[in-house]
Amino acid sequence: MQNQHSFDRHDSGTLYLVPTPIGNLDDMTMRAVKVLQSVDLIAAEDTRNTQKLLNHFDITTKQLSFHEHNTQQRIPELIAKLRDGLSIAQVSDAGMPSISDPGKELVQAAIAAALPVVPLPGANAATTALIASGLAPQPFMFYGFLPRKASEQKAVLAALALQEQTVIFYESPYRLAKTLTAIQAVFGERQATLARELTKLHEEFIRGTLSELATWAQESARGEFVVMVAGAKPQAPAISDQPLAAQVAQRVAAGEKPTAAIKAVAKANGLRRQDVYNAYHGLEETS
């Protein structure tokens, strides 16, 4: 067990986790500015990007790069500096550090070294999107970016399909339409909301069914997006009431080969294998 009293006097430095705006610079908090001004060093995902923010707020603190490709090398350096009594603020390019961004390993290393880790509240795309989504705000599940590999993506979606909480994903505009179609194939038809370009001039909310949003995304996906999908209806239906693709995906996630899973689902539903194969692969129905 470990008990951290964040604001007691410490001989070591403190690791501050500082959120930065996700579009609108006015969303920088006064405390975030003060902390970035007062620390000895800022560990930034992209120092050039963060320099623009620092210039805007007249912050002159020195920066060090800390991103996914130098995490392992940087952590011992940063922990040594904290032990020497230097205070460090970690920032990512936008929003909360560690949320689909670098940070987690540094936080874990600081905790392992019994160094104080102090988070600041602030901008975050997921929760900002959620409160205007119109979907149930709690319980919710933040997933972040789905795996890109189709088989891994299907397995994750199958595991999420029965969850009754609102599920939040991040997705790039280039994969948005495909991802919405993949979610619909496994979850079945559900209400969903896209939050686009939050806090920016072209902020937009698109609310509808997964199919409607997938069609919209094929035409209009530009900018940054949060995808939110309503949870499964309470009292999860029996497996045979699930969409065919979900039934297959659940079996595959449980370790069955896709061909065996398709055969089993076809048998359970009294269908032809070809129909289940098509449903699983998102192909047109054959007659």
- Where along the sequence are the contacts to ligand SAM (CB under 6 A)? 22-23, 92, 94-96, 99-101, 124-126, 170-172, 195, 197-200, 224-226
In the complex, the smallest distance separating the C-beta of residue 198 from ligand SAM, rounded to whole angstroms, is 3
227 and 169 Cβ atoms separated by less than 8 Å: yes
- Residue 64 three-state SS: strand
Q: At what angle do helices 176-187 and 150-160 cross, to 10 degrees?
A: 50
Element (H, E) at 128: helix 125-131
In the complex, the smallest distance separating the C-beta of residue 20 from ligand SAM, rounded to whole angstroms, is 9
Written as six digits, the tokens of 195 are: 């939050």
14 and 116 Cβ atoms separated by less than 8 Å: yes
In the complex, the smallest distance separating the C-beta of residue 226 from ligand SAM, rounded to whole angstroms, is 5
In the complex, the smallest distance separating the C-beta of residue 245 from ligand SAM, rounded to whole angstroms, is 24
Question: For ligand SAM, which is the closer residue by CB, 207 or 263?
Answer: 207
In sign, the C-alpha dihedral spanning 47, 49, 54, 60 is positive
Question: For ligand SAM, which is the closer residue by CB, 126 or 186?
Answer: 126
Question: For ligand SAM, which is the closer residue by CB, 160 or 245?
Answer: 160
214 and 152 Cβ atoms separated by less than 8 Å: no
In the complex, the smallest distance separating the C-beta of residue 236 from ligand SAM, rounded to whole angstroms, is 28
The residue of the chain with the least Cβ separation from ligand SAM equals 95
In the complex, the smallest distance separating the C-beta of residue 24 from ligand SAM, rounded to whole angstroms, is 8
259 and 199 Cβ atoms separated by less than 8 Å: no
Of 81, 84, 85, 42, whose CA–CA distance to 60 is shortest? 42
Question: For ligand SAM, which is the closer residue by CB, 168 or 253?
Answer: 168
- Residue 209 three-state SS: strand
Question: For ligand SAM, which is the closer residue by CB, 61 or 199?
Answer: 199
Question: For ligand SAM, which is the closer residue by CB, 172 or 259?
Answer: 172
